[in-house]
């Protein structure tokens, strides 16, 4: 996840199989429940559980069957996630590999790249991060300065990235870098699958107000990436990055965070979770702010209101009804995007805006319920500290994944047809543009 971007808003790639739209949620629910009954075993390792989950196609059910998914539309994929949560299981490998890298590779990767990179994402053997934003290229992502220079059959990468979620646990990164300074800034960018655990890569966690370190800054000094790891073609990285961005915005807007899960196991070899018993990770993520707002959040707030004794408060009831309405509007928006009928081309941006608005309202309603305890911290407080941490975390989602201001710019220009900012950045070579300070 990153700060912001002025990325062009392309229609979200159609990953699912349209023929799957005729399958009912009840049928999927029954099939997943039957599979769980035969597959779940808390004594096996996390690695073995994720192998079983990946083999079933339920690790990433929205991906095409050809790359390990089931081709489900979002509502059926949500049904799969709900069944896993209802059974109290560890869900699919969390993080940006499943959320962003696999869908991007499914659209732009060659068959060889899909075979190399997607299976280890689905079964948790590899963890990914997103190397997009830079200190001088957040709101203007296309102004990035990290360079990639061809040296034989490898590219040499030098530059700095920031706001890199999960970078401290990632062994692979989705990297965009400048490969042509003589082309306009959007046209001289390439997209790479970048190995993180190599000389020349320094990952430094950034501590947040929550006390956690979700984000990192990454310094890259003449690190190398094989030319075979170029995704989507030379100097075509902006189009590939837009696929990643649209998947991200739709996922964030719908409350996604890498495959809804009650467990907190981290994929990849660096975190050291793969060889531990999967049953060790069956626990609620108490107090862990994720930025996701959905039916589970509404249920938790409703139960909290009953515990506190304010479930009859008209203001609380109205607030909970508002959250339900916002969740339904978000679901309908994504259904419209999936159908392609009367699509605005900015459904992903609208989903992101709705998601951050819903999160702010959740923060306000949650604090109204717990009252003065909102000033306390820790798991021994009302809500086990979840509302309090969500409150401190809440500014983040309006910044990462593209700021709310950038989303509104995209909606106004590409959805409503309003005039764009003046300038000739679309035709001026990157080397001749003023650089961000």
With residue 410 as reference, give the H or E element that holds it. Answer: helix 404-410
Q: Calculate the average pLDDT of the chain.
A: 87
pLDDT-based confidence at 396, cuts 50/70/90?
Answer: confident
**Quick count: other Cβ atoms within 10 Å of Cβ 195?**
17
Q: What is the DSSP string of 80-133?
A: HHHHHHHTT---SPPSHIIIIIHHHHHHHS-HHHHHHHHHHHHTTS--EEEE--
pLDDT-based confidence at 257, cuts 50/70/90?
Answer: very low
Residue 52 clears pLDDT 60, i.e. is over it: yes
Active site (catalytic) residues? 248
pLDDT tens digits, residue range 314-353?
A: 999 999 999 999 988 888 877 776 665 656 778 888 888 9
pLDDT tens digits, residue range 72-122?
A: 987 888 899 989 988 989 999 989 999 999 999 999 999 999 999 999 999
In the chain, where are the structural domains located? Answer: 18-125, 128-236
CATH T-level assignment (fold) for domain 128-236: Butyryl-CoA Dehydrogenase, subunit A; domain 2 (2.40.110)
pLDDT tens digits, residue range 130-173?
A: 999 999 887 789 999 999 999 999 999 999 999 898 999 999 99
- Of residues 224 and 296, more confidence is placed in 224
Question: For position 80, what pLDDT does the model report?
Answer: 94
Question: For position 7, what pLDDT does the model report?
Answer: 37
Top-tier CATH class for 18-125: mainly alpha
Residue 400 clears pLDDT 60, i.e. is over it: yes
The CA distances from residue 281 to 41, 229, 259, 271, 342, in Å, are 12, 33, 15, 13, 43
């Amino acid at each position: 996840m990153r700060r912001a971007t002025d990325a062009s808003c392309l229609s979200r790639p159609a990953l699912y199989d349209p023929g799957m739209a005729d399958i009912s949620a009840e049928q999927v629910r029954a099939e997943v429940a039957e599979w769980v009954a035969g597959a779940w075993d808390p004594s096996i390792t996390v690695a073995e559980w994720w192998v079983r989950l990946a083999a079933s196609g339920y690790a990433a059910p929205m991906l095409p069957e050809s790359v390990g998914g089931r081709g489900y539309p979002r509502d059926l994929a949500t049904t799969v996630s709900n069944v896993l949560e209802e059974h109290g299981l560890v869900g699919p490998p969390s993080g940006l590999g499943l959320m962003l890298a696999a869908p991007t590779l499914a659209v732009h990767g060659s068959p060889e790249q899909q075979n190399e990179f997607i299976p280890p994402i689905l079964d948790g053997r590899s963890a990914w991060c997103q190397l997009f934003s830079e200190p001088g290229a957040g709101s203007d992502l296309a102004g990035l300065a990290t360079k990639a220079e061809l040296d034989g059959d490898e590219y040499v990468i030098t530059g700095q990235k920031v706001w890199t979620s999960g970078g401290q646990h990632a062994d692979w990164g989705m990297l965009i870098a400048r490969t042509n300074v003589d082309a306009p800034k959007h046209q001289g960018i390439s997209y790479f699958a970048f190995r993180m655990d190599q000389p020349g890569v320094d990952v430094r966690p950034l501590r947040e107000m929550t006390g956690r370190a979700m984000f990192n800054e990454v310094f890259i000094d003449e690190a190398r990436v094989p030319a075979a790891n170029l995704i989507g073609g030379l100097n075509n990285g902006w189009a590939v990055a837009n696929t990643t961005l649209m998947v991200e915005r739709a996922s964030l807007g719908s409350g996604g965070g890498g495959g809804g899960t009650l467990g907190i196991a981290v994929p990849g070899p660096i975190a050291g979770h793969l060889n531990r018993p999967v049953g060790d990770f069956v626990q609620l993520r108490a107090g862990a702010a994720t930025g996701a707002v959905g039916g589970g959040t509404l249920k938790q707030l409703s139960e909290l209101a009953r515990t506190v004794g304010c479930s009859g408060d008209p203001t609380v009831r109205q607030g909970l009804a508002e959250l339900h309405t916002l969740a339904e509007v978000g679901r309908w928006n994504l259904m419209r995007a999936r159908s392609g009928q009367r699509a605005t081309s900015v459904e992903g941006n609208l989903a992101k805006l709705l998601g951050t608005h819903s999160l702010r309202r959740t923060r306000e309603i949650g604090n109204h319920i717990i009252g003065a305890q909102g000033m306390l911290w820790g798991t021994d407080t009302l809500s086990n500290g979840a509302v309090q941490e969500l409150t401190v975390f809440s500014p983040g989602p309006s910044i990462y994944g593209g700021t709310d201001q950038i989303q509104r710019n995209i909606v106004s220009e590409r959805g409503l047809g309003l005039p764009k900012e003046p300038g000739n950045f679309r035709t001026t070579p990157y080397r001749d543009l003023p650089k961000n300070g």
